[in-house]
Amino acid sequence: GDSWGIFTFLCAALCNLPALPALNCSEELGAGQSIQQTYDLTRYLEHQLRTLAGTYLNYLGPPFNEPDFNPPRLARAERVPSATVDLDLWRGLTDNARLAANYRAYSRLLCYLRVLDGQVGTAELRHRLAHFCASLQGLVLSIGGVMSSLGYPLPAGPAGPSAPPGAPAAPNDFLKKMDDFWLLKELQTWLWRSAKDFNRLKKKVPPAVVTLRLEARGF
Amino acid sequence: VSPAADPAVISPQDPTLLIGSSLVATCTLSPDFPLKAEDLYWTLNGRRLPAASYSALGPSTLSVALARLNGSRQQSGDNLVCHSRDGGILAGSCLYVGLPPEKPVNITCWSKNMKDLTCKWAPGTEGETFLHTNYTLKYKRRWYGQDNTCQEYHTAGTYSCHIPKDLALFTPYEIWVEASNRLGVAVSDVVMLDILDVVTTDPPSDVHVSRVGDLEDQLSVRWSSPPALKDFLFQAKYQIQYRVEDSSEWKVVDDVGNQTSCRLAGLRPGTVYFVQVRCNPFSIYGSKKAGIWSDWSNPTAASTPRSERVAGGCDPKGGEQNTTLRRELKQFFGWVKKHAYGCSNLGIKLYDQWRVWLQKSHKTRGLAQP
């Protein structure tokens, strides 16, 4: 349940701290294990999102919380790169491009969610959002860790807590509700897609044999 | 590919209304949209509104009349939506229908060791305003000083706030709560207090409960006064509560005064008791006024001794019976070893034989039948 997920998340976060001084891990351990942990984290977030989305959509009220709700995406500036992509294009992505797409998407999604956090009404919703944002931050760190361990540079982009530029605020409350709906939908789609992305990466970078050389100095 | 402009515009956009009021809303199609007024319909919170309440105000404008509105279904606003015939959403407006807030009431405050102030309150009697209502706790020193606003909310429940520092002693404070929502503002009555009047402290530390020698109806309780108190000229009074392990009824010892030990008497022998102590800092700077009771200390457990000699306590016969049984078992296995040649077949016949032998030997020894 939740405690398993939190443990996984913490492991993912810890794995990406600067190398622990006492251990001397091999590089492959970093990449292989990190990919598995990132995969696990996306599954955990997917589970958490179901509860968060349910609560949030109920707060927005019908028709937003109806199962078949499918509003138009009005032509406003595209906020988040869409997760949906041509199948052949997706298959042909290099590891770097695949990871970078995930990293960029979640960084932006995190920014938007944080803005949401400052605006919602009920205390329960704020609490759930804060928890989710913390987990999502862990995912971004985890993906960054995988990229570093494979030698890829991190994509430049909005890293701060402020809302990214080029995203105008909705002109009225109803359009804002639509934006929130689509944000949650996009988040859901990305998490589905990421599970497949990381599954694919897992097969290309298998976890190597663990070689730990502990400095035996009076231990 | 959707057009650059929104397909339609609703008026009024996101209005705020009093419960029971009526509203006429219009949906005006954008000029380059190929629909007409008769192609539109309205929904409110997902439910279609009756066509009888519609009225075409022009070729591309449809209005709807809503009467005697109820309070909003959700605090984010009721969703009034203008649809095209095939169900597509053209525009929407959030209706905020509710009541202005009532005056917050029952403001109570307490200070932990004179270092801070926490206050809680209750919303006005109506309670449900259907709109998101913001509460702000304000305070100022009486006669001078400006208004200050409390920043840390929800520290002791939903309607609470914590002021962590910069509080003066020996001066009365005026405290009040402002409630505001889209429909108005309400201010509570002002509460006046001196920090010294509402002081509470930590529960006593190092609570130890021990037996009093062999006395089976008494326990001795010892504790230390909370460390924070020693900085101030407090006296403290204490209260003890205790209960038997499997009961939920607490007995309270009230008149403990300023000591740091107390003896509980009239207890049941051989019973486990849970004991808690709490503290009230009073006579702050000699004022003789009571403060606010602290939380109870964590429960400490201890048991009263059980006497061996009191009848009805431990059964002496039972004890003797136990040793008799052990002796008999030893004898039995010894006998078995001797008589069960080679095979360890402890059948029921063998056991019966042993019982018979036992009775015979008891008769010879003059012991009571087991």
Can you say how many angstroms the Cα of residue A64 is from the centroid of all Cα atoms in its chain? 23
- Taking the C-alpha atoms of residue B351 and residue B333, their distance in angstroms, rounded to an integer, is 10
Residues of B in contact with A173 (CB under 8 A): 13-14, 76-77, 93-94
C-beta separation of B73 from B45 below 8 A? yes
Instruction: Give me the total of CB pairs closer than 8 Å, taking one residue from chain A and one from chain B.
Output: 68
B88 touching A (Cβ < 8 Å): yes
pLDDT band at B227 (very low <50, low <70, confident <90, very high): confident
B301 CB neighbour count, 10 Å cutoff:
10
Lookup: tokens for B226? 């909370």
Q: Between A71, A123, A173, which is nearest B77 by CB?
A: A173
Lookup: tokens for B259? 């000591």
Examine domains B8-98 and B105-197 and report if their fold is the same.
yes
ipTM of predicted assembly, 2 dp: 0.75
- Taking the C-alpha atoms of residue A9 and residue A139, their distance in angstroms, rounded to an integer, is 8
Lookup: tokens for B291? 């403060």
Asked if the B8-98 domain carries CATH number 2.60.40.10, the reply is: yes
Structure confidence by residue, pLDDT tens digits, B42-90: 999 999 999 999 999 999 999 999 999 999 999 999 999 999 999 899 9
B282: left (phi over 0), alpha (psi -120 to 50) or beta: beta
Lookup: tokens for B365? 């020894």
Identity (one letter) of the amino acid at A4? W
Q: Which residue has the higher pLDDT, A160 or B291?
A: B291
- Taking the C-alpha atoms of residue A185 and residue A170, their distance in angstroms, rounded to an integer, is 17
Give the SS3 label for residue B269. coil
Strand partners, B155: B157
Contact across the interface for A59 and B79, Cβ inside 8 Å: no
**Fold topology of A28-159+169-204:** Growth Hormone; Chain: A; (1.20.1250)
Class of the domain covering B202-304: mainly beta
DSSP A168: P
Q: Give this prediction's pTM.
A: 0.71
- Taking the C-alpha atoms of residue B257 and residue B242, their distance in angstroms, rounded to an integer, is 17
Lookup: tokens for B177? 């709560």
Superfamily of structural domain B105-197: Immunoglobulins (2.60.40.10)
Question: What are the residue ranges spanned by the domains of chain A?
Answer: 28-159+169-204
- The helix-helix angle for A123-149 and A2-15 (nearest 10°) equals 40
Structure confidence by residue, pLDDT tens digits, B351-369: 566 666 666 666 666 554 4
Find where tokens 């939903």 sit. B158
Nearest in space to B24 (alpha carbons), one of B76, B52, B65 = B65
Task: Flag residues of chain A having pLDDT under 50.
Answer: 1, 13, 17-28, 160-161, 209-219
Question: What are the residue ranges spanned by the domains of chain B?
Answer: 8-98, 105-197, 202-304
